[in-house]
A and B are shown apart, each in its own frame.
Chain A
Amino acid sequence: EVQLVESGGGLVQPGGSLRLSCAASGFTFSSYWMYWVRQAPGKELEWLANINQDGSEKRYVDSVKGRFTVSRDNAKNSLYLQMNSLRAEDTAVYYCARVEVLMTYHYYYMDVWGKGTTVTVSS
C-alpha cells in the first residue's frame, strides 16, 4: 500500500525549532518529487516547499524561506522539514505529499498525502 506517515509535530515555544519527518512506503520514493503543505486551523492549504528526486532542487514559499529547510534521505525513504525560528502563525497541520507528473504535458499534482502532523507554536 502506498503510504506517507508524518511525525515530529508537537508544542513548541516561539523562536523554537522542530524537525518533521515523513516516512514513505509502498512506492519507489527516490523517483518522486515531494512537497510539504500546511493548513492553519480553519484556513486554506498553503504549499511550503518542494524537493526533487535527489535533493538537488528545492524551492520555498516566501513566508518560510530562510527559516525552514526541506531535505530527504532516499536510503531511508524519508522526507524532512527542519523548522527554525518558529512563530505563532506557523501553527498548523503539516502534510507531506507525493508529486506525480504527467510528462506529456508537464502536469504536476499531489496524488498521495499523509494524514498530517500538528505543530502548535505557543508560550
Chain B
Amino acid sequence: DIQMTQSPSSLSASVGDRVTITCRASQSISKFLNWFQQKPGKAPNLLIYGASNLQSGVPSRFSGSGSGTDFTLTISSLQPEDFATYYCQQSYTTPLTFGLGTRLEIK
C-alpha cells in the first residue's frame, strides 16, 4: 500500500498568515493527489484534485502543487473559516490512502 505522510501534524497560525502543508507519498504517484478540508463533526470537503486543480467553489487562496512523491497545499492568506484539519489522499491505485491529517489551529 502507498503510505501518505503529512507534515506538520498540527500547526498554529494567525488570520492573514500564509500556510503550507506538505504531503509525501511512499512511491511516485504522478499527480494523482487530492486535498480535503474537514471541520469537526462534518464530512470532508474537496479542495484540490490532480495535485493542482482547484475544485469548483473553493476560494482561490487555496492552491496545490507537486508531482511524483512530494506535494504541498498552500493557503495564501488564512481566513477564520480555514481553521480545520486537512488531509491528502492518493488516487493512483487501490487501496486509496489518506494522510494522517494536519490540524490547523488559531494562534
Interface residues of A (CB under 8 A from B): 35, 44-47, 50, 59-62, 95, 100, 102, 105-111, 113-116
Contact = CB atoms under 8 A, between A and B. Distances in A.
Interface stretch (B11-19, B42-50, B72-80): B42-50
Contacts of B53: 102, 107
A113 B49 contact: no
A110 B96 CA distance: 11
Nearest to A96: B43
By DSSP majority rule, is chain A's interface helix, strand, loop, or mixed? strand
By DSSP majority rule, is chain B's interface helix, strand, loop, or mixed? loop
Contacts of B99: 44
A113 B43 contact: yes
Interface residues of B, number: 25
21 contacts: A35-B96, A44-B87, A44-B98, A44-B100, A44-B101, A47-B89, A47-B98, A50-B96, A59-B95, A60-B95, A61-B95, A62-B95, A100-B49, A107-B31, A107-B50, A108-B32, A109-B34, A109-B49, A109-B91, A111-B46, A113-B44
Contact of B98 (A45, A50, A108, A115): A45
Name, among A45, A102, A113, the residue most crowded by chain B CB atoms within 10 Å (CB to CB): A45
A47 B43 contact: no
B69 interface: no
B97 A47 contact: yes
B60 interface: no
